[in-house]
Amino acid sequence: MTAMKPALLVVDMQNDFVLPDAPAAVKGAAATIPRIKAVLDRFRRSGWPVFHVVREYRADGSDIEISRRDAFLAGPGYVISGTTGAEIVRALSPESGEYRIVKPRFSAFFGTELELILRRLAVDRLVLCGTQYPNCIRATAYDGLSHGYPVLVITDATSASDDQVAEANIRDLRNVGIRCVSFEEFDRSIGG
Amino acid sequence: MTAMKPALLVVDMQNDFVLPDAPAAVKGAAATIPRIKAVLDRFRRSGWPVFHVVREYRADGSDIEISRRDAFLAGPGYVISGTTGAEIVRALSPESGEYRIVKPRFSAFFGTELELILRRLAVDRLVLCGTQYPNCIRATAYDGLSHGYPVLVITDATSASDDQVAEANIRDLRNVGIRCVSFEEFDRSIGG
């Protein structure tokens, strides 16, 4: 029997998206930090690969989505490369041997080296958590499935601006066969 | 002033997804045919490029999403290449000079030649309609935006299994700056 080889993708848990007073705060994100830490611990204990997927923008707006550019340039900006706001929240800091992937768009696969590394590591399934459901989580989940990976989202380690948005997205994800389960359920299913 | 150059993407309006008794029918799809026809007429009148984006699967299940494979192989299948079910519904048949793009996954950009042709034609924005909101429409809208195109979805020419799903998806799409408007509103905005 071949052992399974899941990879964990922790998405966008950066100061500017997570800290309650941050410029682009996602309301539900801060509350998920302890649960994401538990997921991280589980992967670290098993020696499975961990990817910290983050968003960064250039301050001049040259690489932001066209629909967001004007508002970004009119304000102080957010997740600008090299700023504290772009850093991963302290409690979830990457450890040695983990991967940091900068994504220029919603999906962790779009314009990044993620798929190259997943293949090199012979990863056979993806586990997602982080923020936020409708955008980066969802785009990454669909792309992961499109690349042929079974995808699982840990619901209590993933956030949105409110519960209604989270629930609507979970329903759509499940309809295409993306598993959405709690950390406890996930942990039990892998023989925690 | 440079004239605008929008491209229309009509998504998945194939017999197996649209006809009411079809194996993979999307409940809301058949009702949108007349409105999609009106959108097509508008683009044809203006000489703007039209893309008919369709899904096709091989009968052996080798190219279907991993999460759908077992159910697909257990039944008679759907949108199998070369079958009537994979054909575009008669009322929306492509005309000479229009593009037919076969997509193996949700997004019209994933593993297809779409972006190559859009660039060659110097298309500067995308207009989407068809079915269905949570999957192929949404994945295509996010990828279009990710590639740098302003994206507009024609709401009364786009469908889902029910209104609640459609509305939840429209809300998420608008939140990233994807315009969602009726055909009338679109037609007026381009000086119909």
CB contact under 8 A, B148 and A66: yes
pLDDT at position A2? 67
For range B84-112, the mean pLDDT: 97
Residue B156 pLDDT > 70? yes
pLDDT, one tens digit per residue, over A63-75 is 999 999 999 999 9
User: A174 in contact with B at a CB cutoff of 8 Å?
Assistant: no
pLDDT bin (cut points 50, 70, 90) of residue A131 is very high
Residue A192 pLDDT > 70? no
User: A105 in contact with B at a CB cutoff of 8 Å?
Assistant: yes
Instruction: Compute the nearest-CA separation of A83 from chain B (Å).
Output: 23
pLDDT at position B96? 96
CB contact under 8 A, A172 and B150: no
pLDDT, one tens digit per residue, over A21-75 is 998 999 999 999 999 999 999 999 999 999 999 999 999 999 999 999 999 999 9
CB contact under 8 A, B146 and A65: yes
Strand order in the sheet with B151-159: B99-103, B50-55, B6-11, B125-131, B151-159, B179-181
pLDDT at position B32? 98
Residue B2 pLDDT > 70? no
Instruction: Compute the nearest-CA separation of B95 from chain A (Å).
Output: 30
For range B89-106, the mean pLDDT: 97
pLDDT at position B190? 86
Residue B84 pLDDT > 60? yes
- Angle (CA) A136-A139-A145 rounded to 5° is 130
Lookup: tokens for A78: 């957010």
Residue A108 pLDDT > 70? yes
For range B117-121, the mean pLDDT: 95
